[in-house]
Amino acid sequence: QVQLQESGPRLVKPSQTLSLTCSVSGVSISTGGYYWTWIRQHPGKGLEWIGSIYFSGTTYDNPSLKSRLTISIDTSRNHFSLKLSSVTAADTAMYYCAREQGGYNYLDNWGQGTLVIVSS
């Protein structure tokens, strides 16, 4: 059974970098055919796609965040990561990691999410 689990600091100060890791179990992250994805949800709001990464390291970023965003993958640890720099209160959100099936392009497995608050 595929499981994804987000981890990282829950509180980040403004102007600093938000860093999250998604640990994957039940499947090797280096298996082709999947795009490992980050999505966020501002409190009480809808879903926003942040970006995704293939096992090869190819990334797809949301242009609205691109200048601040780094998504990376570590196949040896079977996890992928998100870094968002220069955060503000507007980056306070629930952050989800998910797996997208390549080719059919649907998100079939999601982590439980982690709430990150940006505050001094």
Partner 1 sequence: DIVMTQSPLSLAVTPGEPASISCRSSQSLLPSTGYNYLGWYLQKPGQSPQLLIYLGSYRASGVPDRFSGSGSGTDFTLKISRVEAEDVGVYYCMQSLHTPRTFGQGTKVEIK
Which span sits near partner 1 by CB under 8 A: 15-23, 71-79, 81-89, 108-116? 108-116
- Count CA atoms closer than 13 A to 63's CA, side-chain side: 0
100 binds partner 1 (CB under 8 A): yes
Largest CA distance in the chain: 42
96 binds partner 1 (CB under 8 A): yes
Q: Restricting to residues 24-63, name those near partner 1 by CB under 8 A.
A: 46-49, 51-52, 60-63
Give the C-alpha separation, 103 to 118, whole Å: 36
Interacting residue ranges for partner 1, rule: CB under 8 A: 46-49, 51-52, 60-64, 96, 100-101, 104-108, 110-113
